[in-house]
Amino acid sequence: MAKQTPLYATHVRLGGKMVDFAGWDMPLHYGSQVEEHHHVRRDAGMFDVSHMLALDLDGAGAHDLLHKLIANNVDKLTVPGRALYSCMLNPQGGVIDDLIVYFFRPDFYRIVVNAGTADKDLAWISQHAGNVSVKPRRDLAMIAVQGPNARAKAWVALPGSQAASAELKPFHAAWFGDALIARTGYTGEDGFELMIPAERAEATWDALLAAGVEPAGLGARDTLRLEAGMSLYGQDIDEQTSPLEAGLAWTVDLAAPRNFIGKSVLAARRPEKQTFGLLLEDRGVLRAHQKVRTAQGEGEITSGSFSPTMNRSIALARLPAGVAAGDTVEVEIRDKRLKAMVVKPPFVRNGKVLV
Amino acid sequence: MNIPADLKYAQSHEWARLADDGLVTVGISDHAQEALGDIVYLELPQVGRKVKAGEECAVVESVKAASDIYAPIAGEVVAVNQAAADAPESVNQDAYAAWLFRLKPDNAADLDKLLDADAYAKVAAED
């Protein structure tokens, strides 16, 4: 029996096509994934992301625990509510998960991890936690409201929330009563991620709906994040992937003297691969695991789909060192070899095509 | 579920219609287009290609996934629907108007081996 979020009945009521995702019964779309995608790029859409897990780290050692556990440096977080994207690595330098950590006090952080890795993450973090309390917050629902009009519509839906969140810069969060409003997301658009008590999830969703925010499913979430050049755990990154080869070097802090799990391996090994975007020049659709032929050797697509914003196929691909943006490569699709151009992601941000 | 009574269907969700000129038009069912979601690319067979019943001969790609299309009966491909290839979303809009290819059947009686609308409705319901 698949797990259900506090919004399961709401999705069914709205005609969501429910599918299994990492053991959760989630909406793939509510009619048209492409329309939902456009709605987020052009106006405002919302996603139920309650399948992801919030973990509260509470205790005097919380800062030191994160120093050890994640590849990005929580010392960058000095203002309460500040958020940071990071990988959590295994001792071999592979990615256990990618996550967002919110700082409130040196002895209190919240991290949000992927649904499919939540159990593994909880076990791993608890194993290293010492006296720090690690509390899974399954009592919370999470709704991502995304798009150029997302914030304005959220303020209409949640009276009083504007005062609490109008001044938030990207990657900052603020409390609004017992809800957390974070200016974060996974679409390349402006917006909020709301963490609210589960019992208020449906009322909040319906208020957003009444304010003109359209429901969007996992299908649109995937094409939006791909256009935004963001990694999907289990597809673009996994325990065998080095973040330095996955386009995530900007999230790995090798410079500071602190020692984090996986650091010594990353520091000692020269990356042999790199991650780029591909733009298909011919008709067709790029998909994960298709082989890419380059002048420097073979590579592989890690995520590929059709980009509704660009009306052509795009992909993220792991390619040999030496390949550069602007190169033309060949992708094997069934019995054909189709031409694609190597580009630097993101493809789309804030409604604009960048490549 | 829209399953016209005058068509024949394959287990693999193609429909087939025999016309007065003896040619068989093939497309995918409404159930199939709905399951695939937004269709963004059609790879159609070469005109002149001879296909066996059940042979892969086209690909329909939605945003979500690529799906093989099988020849419902044996024959020769005599036409493809370029208009549908140029506007793949037309298959979502009307799966029975946006046909994919036409076959000159080796034996038109092979159509009798396909499912009628009632039998296909059961297949689609269990899918």
* pLDDT tens for each residue of A31-43: 999 999 999 999 9
* B3 falls within a domain: no
| Fold agreement (A8-50+138-227, A272-353) | no
Chain A residues within an 8 Å CB radius of B66? 285, 287
Would you state the pLDDT for residue A193? 98
**For the packed helices A201-210 and A150-157, what is the interaxial angle rounded to 10 degrees?**
120
* B124 falls within a domain: no
CA distance A199 to A196: 8
- Name the residue ranges covered by the structural domains of chain A: 8-50+138-227, 272-353
* B44 falls within a domain: yes
Would you state the pLDDT for residue A157? 98
Q: What is the mean pLDDT of residues B29-46?
A: 96
- CA B69 and chain centroid, separation: 7
Residue A63 to chain B, least CA–CA distance (Å): 41
* B122 falls within a domain: no
Q: What is the CATH number of the domain that holds B77?
A: 2.40.50.100
Would you state the pLDDT for residue A267? 95
Give the domain A272-353 fold. Elongation Factor Tu (Ef-tu); domain 3 (2.40.30)
Would you state the pLDDT for residue A18? 96
pLDDT at A116 over 90: yes
Task: Give strand pairing partners of A293.
Answer: A298, A330
DSSP A154-211: HHHHSTTHHHHHTTPPTTBEEEETTEEEE---SSSS-EEEEEEEGGGHHHHHHHHHHT
Give the mean pLDDT of chain A: 97
pLDDT at B25 over 80: yes
B contact test, residue of A18, A20, A305, A307 with most B CBs within 10 A? A305
- Residues of B engaging A, defined by a Cβ cutoff of 8 Å: 37-38, 40-41, 43, 59, 61, 63-64, 66
Would you state the pLDDT for residue A230? 98
* B112 falls within a domain: no
Would you state the pLDDT for residue B127? 79
Q: How confident is the model at residue A1 (pLDDT cuts 50, 70, 90)?
A: confident
Residue A21 to chain B, least CA–CA distance (Å): 14
CA distance B39 to B90: 8
Chain B residues within an 8 Å CB radius of A306? 38, 40-41, 61, 63
CA distance A293 to A79: 46
pLDDT at A221 over 80: yes
* B70 falls within a domain: yes
pLDDT at A299 over 80: yes
* B57 falls within a domain: yes
Give the mean pLDDT of chain B: 96
B contact test, residue of A285, A311, A312 with most B CBs within 10 A? A285
Q: What is the pLDDT of residues B67-92, one digit of tens each?
A: 999 999 999 999 999 999 999 999 99
Domain A8-50+138-227 has CATH 2.40.50.140: no
Show the domain range for B18.
8-107
**Interface list for A 212-231 with B (CB within 8 A):** 219, 223
pLDDT at B40 over 80: yes
Of A32, A219, A284, the CB nearest to B41: A284
Would you state the pLDDT for residue B111? 96
Contact of B54 with B70, CB cutoff 8 Å: yes
Q: How confident is the model at residue B99 (pLDDT cuts 50, 70, 90)?
A: very high
Looking at the structure of chain B, the number of domains it has is 1
10 Å Cβ neighbour count for A94? Answer: 18
